[in-house]
Chain A
Amino acid sequence: MAFNSLPFLFFFLLVFTGYWTLKSNRQRNVLLVLASYFFYGWWDWRFLGLIFISTLTDYCCGLFMHQQQSQRVKKRALWVSIGINIGLLITFKYLNFFIDSANDLMLSLGFSSQVNSLNILLPIGISFYTFQTLSYTLDLYRKTLKEPSRDFLAFSAYVCFFPQLVAGPIEKAQHLLPQFRQKKSFDRNLALEGFNQMCWGFLKKLVIADNAGILCNQLFEQGSEQNPFALLLAGVFFAFQMYGDIAGYTDIAIGLGKLFGFRLTQNFNFPLFAKNMTDFWNRWHISLSKWFYEYLYFPTIFRLRAWGKWGVHAAIWITFVLSGFWHGAHWNAVFWGSLYAAYLSLEFLLFPWRSKWSKKAPKLMTYGGMLITVILNLNNWILFRSESIASYFKHLTGIFSNPKPWSYPISLDDSVIVVLLASFFILEAYQFFRQKNWYQQQSSPWIAALLIVCIFVFGAFENPNQFIYFQF
């Protein structure tokens, strides 16, 4: 059930009323688990079994690990959890990719026999909840989480909590799990803050992302024969679509959490104004970046520290190639991750030079860095939106070598969208440079009312889009 659908509105009103009517914490957790399973099962009830398997696996592995004294036995339990969770991911997300890639390889080697692809649907959000449950078991193993959950109900609610189930933020057990054990009373200010944040989220999704998506689709459908400015704008519109989509989803998720008395992790911190690529990954989908940092990058770089600078490069490449693969079971995603690895490797190589110039010309380095980071991200977003690596290169070649004169490709009617996107960008820049957090400082029913009017006037309701991150 998508947040931007009418059934969700009825679902939310019912669950919200029920939640605050119930008195005991246990009853509330029962309601949240049932509601979250209903929310997820709305897409396809068969996916429910996967969440249940993931929940049961990590609940049992956590308890078992805690009872054991032997480190070897604990490690075995950890591998059971990793095996089952990654096994689910591989089976449902990557198996067909492996089969197709093997078939292509066999064909190129001259073998004609082919293995048939399997008829498997990709369960929405599987990469998110498997990563969340894995972090629970990994933290128990590493003792950064001291005690396992003995309350299966609270643990189930932690795994399937519907606001953040399908696209994050990926929550650590240390932060979210205790909140299911706390008795909450309705906090009007927190609820108003949450409602405002939800309104901002819907604005980002329906007004920014979905409208930008209309222009982006128009330009990408016309192919790489257009004039260079149109090709460049296609990438810019996709950047707005991507950012509005996932940042909007996150705002709705965090806002929903607040309406139920929960505080979820901040997931975006003005990534469009990052001053370098390392900074960008500290600002974009923060909970996912932290997951990769903590469970993949850091252990890898630690083991390779004897290699010196080569160890840093190796850890960057391993992390970002796998992160790319996490984003999609196709070669575009792998190439996308490799490009980020290349940027970060280069950033690391240039560190002495950057350090020297940061002292000599700090403003130039900051704003120049912001511009370069945006351009590099734009390049990656074009790749992400392209149907294949070949069409990405055609698009890029078109920008730099198409002889057609630059001309504005958007009709006068659609230029309203361009004005909306530009206004949104200015608003983001204002908040970033003034260091304002509007959800807390500007929470009032009037702001919410104004946002709702904006959503109804400018929202792209005739062209509703699924959230992009659901496919991961």
Chain B
Amino acid sequence: MSQTSIAAIAKIIQEVLNHQEPIDASSDAQSVSGWDSLNHMMIIAAVEKHFEINFSLDEVMALENVGQMAELVDQKLA
């Protein structure tokens, strides 16, 4: 996974959740405040829009943290 994707995703999450908490590859819904089931899809949609890609339902359901999301983004962009 590239550090550029992680940094871009971290910025998107901070914008959607309206805070500046540090976010890295291991960050997930449990460790980031405000990242709950109501906001989760807002983050996914914002990531898709930013990178101009589309995820499938199975791909999104399998994601466990920011690192995995960045890896998936890199795969889609490759």
Contact = CB atoms under 8 A, between A and B. Distances in A.
A278 B57 contact: no
Contacts of A358: 33-34
A293 B33 CA distance: 20
A278 B29 CA distance: 13
Nearest to B57: A302
Contacts of A142: 58, 61
B57 A344 contact: no
Interface stretch (A35-43, A184-192, A348-356, A367-375): A348-356
A305 B34 contact: no
B18 A301 contact: no
A344 B61 contact: no
Interface of A: 142-144, 278, 293-294, 297-299, 301-302, 305-306, 308-309, 311-312, 315-316, 344, 347-348, 351-352, 355-356, 358-359
B44 interface: yes
Contacts of B44: 302, 305
Interface in B14-53: 17-19, 33-34, 36-42, 44-45, 48
Contacts of A352: 18
B34 to A, nearest CB: 6
Most chain A beta carbons < 10 A, residue from B17, B37, B48, B60 = B37
Given A142-B61, A355-B33, 11 more contacts: A144-B61, A144-B62, A278-B36, A294-B61, A298-B57, A299-B57, A305-B44, A351-B18, A355-B18, A358-B34, A359-B19
The interface residues of chain A, by DSSP majority, are classed as helix
Contacts of B18: 351-352, 355-356
Given A308-B45, A355-B18, A302 B38 contact: no
Nearest to A311: B41
A312 B60 contact: no
- What are the 5 tightest A-B residue pairs by CB atom distance, in nearest-first order? A305-B45, A348-B38, A301-B41, A355-B18, A278-B36
Contacts of B58: 142-143
Contacts of A351: 18, 34, 38-39
Contact of B38 (A144, A294, A305, A316): A316
Contacts of A355: 17-19, 33-34
A352 B36 CA distance: 13
